[in-house]
Amino acid sequence: MFNTNDIMETISMIRDNNLDIRTTTMGISLLDCADTDINRSCTKIYDKICRFAGSLVETADSISDKYGIPIVNKRVSVTPVAMLAGISGGDPVLYAKALDRAAHEIGVDFIGGYSALVQKGFSAGDRELIDSIPRALAETGLVCSSVNIGSTKAGINMDAVKLMGQKVRESAEMTADAQCIGAAKLVVFCNAVEDNPFMAGAFHGVGEADRVVSVGVSGPGVVRSVLAGMPDDAPLDEVAEAIKKTAFKITRVGQLVGSEAAARLDTKFGIVDLSLAPTPAIGDSVAHILEEIGLEKCGAHGTTAALAMLNDAVKKGGVMASSNVGGLSGAFIPVSEDDGMISAAREGTLSVEKLEAMTAVCSVGLDMVVIPGDTTPEVISAIIADEAAIGMVNSKTTAVRVIPAIGLKGGEELNFGGLLGYGPVMPLRSQSPAKMINRGGRIPAPLQSLKN
C-alpha cells in the first residue's frame, strides 16, 4: 500500500524541514445561538462551543502522536458575531468574553469570528461590534477579530475603511503595554473567504455546515529544501514543476489529518488550506524560497514575478492532491513571522511599497507589518484602501494586519514572541491622504463584477 521512499521522504520533511499541520480549526455556526437577550445568547454560545469542540485539542494531539506529524495550533472559528449582536443588542464585548471563556475551557490557541461583513454597508449590529473591537481585544486573550470592508461584487465601503483605520490604531493603543498585541489580532479584508482556518482572519461563513473541521498545512522549509537541491541553471518551468510536486505531497498530509480528525470528531471535513505560512524559525521562510529561486535578497527586482510563480505552483499542486482544497492556499508573507522577510526589512531591501506589489500575486496581503507608533488613522485607512483595491480589481482576497508600534519609530523593533515573532518598524510615506479618506462613501464595484 505504501511506497517506502515516500514514507522516508515525509519523515525527512517533518524532521529536517519544518513540515507541520499549522492549524486544525473547527468552524461552528452560532446562528441557533441568537437570542434577543444577550446573556442567554452568550450562554448558548459557550455551551455549544464546549459541546462540539471540547475534544478538539485531545483529538489533534492523538492524531499527531499516531502519525508523528506536528499539529502546531488548535483553533475555533465562529459565525460573524455582528449577526448575533444585531438581534440581541447590548454590549458586544459580552460576546467576546463568552468566546474567550469557551476557548480557555477547551484549551485552543485562538478563537476567531468577532467579525463583521460590511462590504456594501452597515446592518444592525455591525457598527456596534466594530466600535467595540479595541476593547474586546484588550479585555480578552484568545479572541481574534476581522472585518470585510470590500469585495469585487460590492466595491469598497470607504466609511468602513475610515472607521477601521481608527480601530486598528485604538487596538494598538489599548494594548501598548502588551506589544500592541490587539492590532496583531485584527485583520481587515477585501473578498474575505468563508472557510479560512488561519488566524487572525478566520470566521465561520454562513454558507458553511453547522460545524466543520479544516486544516492548514505549512511547509516553506520543505519547498526551499527541494529548490536548494536543484541546479542553479534549472529553467523556471522546471522549478515551478518541482514546487507543484512538493505542494502535492504536503497537501496529502493535510488531507490525511483532516479526514481523520473529522471522523473522530463526528464532524464534516471542510478544507485543506495549503498556505506556505512561515515562522521565525531558521529555514521556515517564504523569503528564503524566493532567494533560492534566484534573488540575492527578497525585495529585489524580480521578487513579484518569483512570488507569482511560487503561489501558482502551490495552488496547482494542492488541487491535484485533494478535492477539498480551499481557504486561501498559496504563500503568506507576514513580515514579523518570516526570518527572511525580517532580514530584508531590516536591510531596507523590502519596503511597504514592494510588499504591496507582492500582495497582488500571493495569498492575503500586508500581514504582520509593524509601522511607526505615530502613524495616523487616516494613513492606516489609506493602506487598507490600497490593499482592498488590489483585491477588488483582481478578484482575490487581500487583507491588512498592521501594528502601529506605540512609542516606537523607524529602525526600532517590536517583539511579540512565539509564533508571531518580531519585526522592524517599517517606514511609511509622510504625505497625508486625509482628504480622500474623510470623503467617505463607496468606491463602486469594478466592471469585472458584472459576471452574471
Distances (CA, A) of 302 to 106, 228, 305, 313, 356: 46, 19, 5, 17, 14
Secondary structure letter of residue 433 according to DSSP: -
Lowest-confidence pick of 76-85, 346-355, 443-452: 443-452
301: left (phi over 0), alpha (psi -120 to 50) or beta: beta
Residue pointed to by grid coordinates 488566524: 199
In the predicted model, is pLDDT for residue 241 greater than 60? yes
How many helical (H) and strand (E) elements, i.e. helices and strands, does the chain have?
16, 13
The three cell numbers locating residue 108 = 485552543
What's the rounded Cα separation, in Å, for the pair 95 and 136?
A: 9
pLDDT of res. 1 = 46
What's the rounded Cα separation, in Å, for the pair 437 and 452?
A: 31
Lowest-confidence pick of 157-161, 353-357, 412-416: 412-416
What's the rounded Cα separation, in Å, for the pair 424 and 55?
A: 39
pLDDT of res. 2 = 46
Percentage of residues in the chain with pLDDT exceeding 90? 69
Identify the band that residue 282 occupies on the pLDDT scale cut at 50, 70 and 90. Answer: low
pLDDT of res. 4 = 47
How do residues 127-138 score in pLDDT, each as one tens digit? Answer: 999 999 999 999
β-bridge partners, 217: 21, 274
In the predicted model, is pLDDT for residue 182 greater than 90? yes
pLDDT of res. 300 = 94
pLDDT of res. 410 = 83
How do residues 309-341 score in pLDDT, each as one tens digit? Answer: 999 999 888 888 787 888 888 888 888 888 898
Tell me the mean pLDDT in the region 370-382. Answer: 96
In the predicted model, is pLDDT for residue 15 greater than 90? no
pLDDT of res. 146 = 97
328: left (phi over 0), alpha (psi -120 to 50) or beta: alpha
First CA to last CA distance, the chain: 46
User: 416 or 420: which carries more pLDDT confidence?
Assistant: 416
In the predicted model, is pLDDT for residue 264 greater than 80? yes
DSSP readout, 71-111? EEEEEEEES-HHHHHHHH-S-THHHHHHHHHHHHHHT-SEE
pLDDT of res. 18 = 58
Which domains, ranges and CATH numbers included, belong to the chain?
Answer: 22-190 (3.20.70.20), 215-447 (3.20.70.20)
How do residues 154-180 score in pLDDT, each as one tens digit? Answer: 999 999 999 999 999 999 999 999 999
The three cell numbers locating residue 33 = 445561538
In the predicted model, is pLDDT for residue 6 greater than 60? no
What's the rounded Cα separation, in Å, for the pair 340 and 350?
A: 10
Quote the mean pLDDT of the chain: 90
Tell me the mean pLDDT in the region 240-256. Answer: 88
Would you call the peptide bond into 240 cis, given omega within 30 degrees of 0 as the criterion? no
Identify the band that residue 256 occupies on the pLDDT scale cut at 50, 70 and 90. Answer: confident
Tell me the mean pLDDT in the region 208-214. Answer: 94
266: left (phi over 0), alpha (psi -120 to 50) or beta: left
